[in-house]
Amino acid sequence: MAEIIVVTSGKGGVGKTTTSAAIGTGLALKGHKTVIIDFDVGLRNLDLIMGCERRVVYDFVNVINGEANLNQALIKDKRVDKLNILPASQTRDKDALTLEGVQKVLDELKKTHDFIVCDSPAGIEKGAHMAMYFADRALVVTNPEVSSVRDSDRILGILQSKTLRAEKGEEPVTEHLLLTRYSPDRVERGEMLGVKDVEEILSIPLLGVIPESKAVLSASNQGQPVILDTETDAGQAYDDAVRRLLGEDVEHRFLNSAKKGLFSRMFGGR
Amino acid sequence: MQDTEAALDSEVCFKLKGSRITMTILELYRYDYQSFNDALSATISNAPDFFRQTPVVLSLERCPASAHVDFIELGELCREYGMIPVAVRGGSEQQIVAANVAGLPSLPPASVSSRAPEPAAEPAPVAEEISVPVSANRVITQPVRSGQQVYAPGGDLVVLAPVSAGAEILADGNIHVYAPLRGRALAGVQGDASARIFCQSLEAELISIAGNYKVNEDLQGALWKQAIKAELEGDQLFISPL
């Protein structure tokens, strides 16, 4: 049975699309047939981050409206076997999405995929609602600053009440916290919230901490999911997160300042 | 004594206060003029003095939602026998509207489970001593997130998880938070000045009892992030360690 994972945050610019691309690619790299869907209709970005913008013919809204079938709209990733991308429409807005339409597409994708990663738009309006409604798991992307944490908290409240699972009274959506743009130096200087602070406020399990990294920007400019840069800290951190998502027990890294030297990093204490 | 004099001297001509009063409930199973009249007169004849000038609350919780009740007629009948209907409790939307039209305000139902219409073994109005408003405590085990609002009408609210900044919890009675309280907590919202707030870590945006409040700025003192209780002393909100 396919699992639907929504990548959401409430706040914009925290790294939802970067995370969707990285996690989706990571799951496919581990051998799971995966599709990443861009729900940000009108502000299409996922195709750029994935480097497939030149191959977009049909999109998510076309499929919902029956103007194209799924196979025509799905873009097969050239680097990773088992990875598909379903781009958003740039010329439409969020009203083009309907729950029935989204459900139809998700049901179809479920037949052929193990994981469906839904890249949510920012905000708490229709687009975000559509992206989270059918989710089994939610990856809440948060930056270590108060406004982002507050918005994530709001999204967690909505996940508990406005999803199919909540409405049917089923097992609630499984929540994971992914802390991105984390800078241990700035935490030590007291300029940024620490992992512990964010965990305490949101009280959901931590899936991973992605360090602030130049690699993320250069990867997205090249249209390459950062998880493919296996030499970089951000790439490795996303790989850890994917392994944890799949149930592996992986110790958290990149929580302390790198200046502490090789010795303390090898022993990886918090 | 001083208080009374002060009240008499002041310019204010009244003060609103919350209070709990024991009242008689008339639990209605169905209504038609003849049988209601017969049953009521039989009940009253047993103890004519007992019901003189007695305020009663009409409970519709055991009355089928579709049942039509003529509240104006019912009210007149009650008054004939010395009972004064003051409000209805529970009931379907139509019944509540009809009651409102007849000048009877509606109170929240005592509990959801008693709403189920049950065939009455003895279809006579039964008077029972019960306190109003009835305790309707709520226990919340999930975190109360930013943007969420939780209200315990007519009772206490117990929260076993954090209350986030931007969340609001309200109760007619006391509020207990067995975790950090970071949002707003308003106890005694119907005016019960004896309501209290308890929390394990005071990090609130605002706490209020019966309309007397303190905002975050006023809370950031020695008791910040401590386990506290808050209560009213006169009109002063008083916070002390637990």
The secondary element (H helix, E strand) that includes residue B157 is: strand B157-159
In angstroms, the separation between the Cα of residue B148 and the nearest Cα of chain A is 7
C-alpha A96: how far from chain center: 22
Compute φ and ψ for A19, nearest 5 degrees. Answer: -70, -45
- Give the least confident one: A200-209, B23-32, B109-118, B204-213: B109-118
Neighbouring residues of A9: CB distance < 8 A, sequence distance ≥ 6: A15, A16, A120, A122, A140, A141, A142, A148, A151, A152, A155
Percent residues over pLDDT 90 in chain A:
90
Neighbouring residues of B183: CB distance < 8 A, sequence distance ≥ 6: B144, B146, B163, B164, B165, B166, B167, B168, B169, B204, B205
- Which residues on neighbouring strands pair with residue B145, listed in sequence order? none
Is this structure's pTM higher than 0.90?
Answer: no
Q: Which domain holds residue B148?
A: 138-241
Of residues A159 and A258, the one with the higher pLDDT is A159
pLDDT number for residue B36: 82
Contact B146, B183 (CB under 8 A): yes
Q: Please state, rounded to an integer, the average pLDDT across all residues of chain A.
A: 93
Q: What are the chain A neighbours of B142 within 8 Å (beta carbons)? A: 160
Of residues B56 and A157, the one with the higher pLDDT is A157
Is residue B93 domain-shared with residue B174, that is, in the same domain? Answer: no
Give chain B's domain count.
Answer: 2
Is residue B77 domain-shared with residue B32, that is, in the same domain? Answer: yes
Percent residues over pLDDT 70 in chain A:
95
Report helix angle A126-133 to A146-161, nearest 10.
60
A153/B164 touch (CB, cutoff 8 Å), yes or no: yes
> What one-letter code names the amino acid at A34?
T
Q: Choose among A56, A35, A58, A57: nearest CA to A47.
A: A56
Tally Cβ neighbours within 10 Å of residue A9: 28
- Give the least confident one: B125-134, B186-195, B212-221: B125-134
B203 Cβ under 8 Å from any chain A Cβ: no
Residue B12 domain-assigned?
no
DSSP-assigned letter for residue B17:
-
Cis amide bond preceding A144, omega within 30: no
The secondary element (H helix, E strand) that includes residue B132 is: strand B126-132
- Give the least confident one: A9-23, A110-124, B101-115: B101-115
> What one-letter code names the amino acid at A89?
S
Residue B67 domain-assigned?
yes
Identify the band that residue B116 occupies on the pLDDT scale cut at 50, 70 and 90. very low
In angstroms, the CA B132 to CA B50 distance is 19
pLDDT number for residue B34: 84
In angstroms, the separation between the Cα of residue B58 and the nearest Cα of chain A is 34
B162/A203 touch (CB, cutoff 8 Å), yes or no: yes
- Give the least confident one: A97-111, A174-188, A227-241, A253-267: A253-267
CATH number at residue B178: 2.160.20.70
ipTM: 0.77
Most B-contacting residue of A162, A201, A202 (CB-CB within 10 A), to test interface? A201
Residue B34 domain-assigned?
yes
pLDDT number for residue B121: 44
Pick the last residue of a domain from B107, B123, B157.
B107
B145/A201 touch (CB, cutoff 8 Å), yes or no: no
Contact B143, B163 (CB under 8 A): yes
Q: What is the pLDDT of residues A125-162, one digit of tens each?
A: 999 999 999 999 999 999 999 999 999 999 999 999 99
CATH number at residue B67: 3.30.70.260
Q: What are the chain B neighbours of A161 within 8 Å (beta carbons)? A: 148
Identity of the residue in B145, B161, B180 whose CB atom sits nearest the CB atom of A153: B145
Q: Note which residues in 28-67 of chain B have CB less than 8 A from chain A.
A: none
Is residue B143 domain-shared with residue B236, that is, in the same domain? Answer: yes
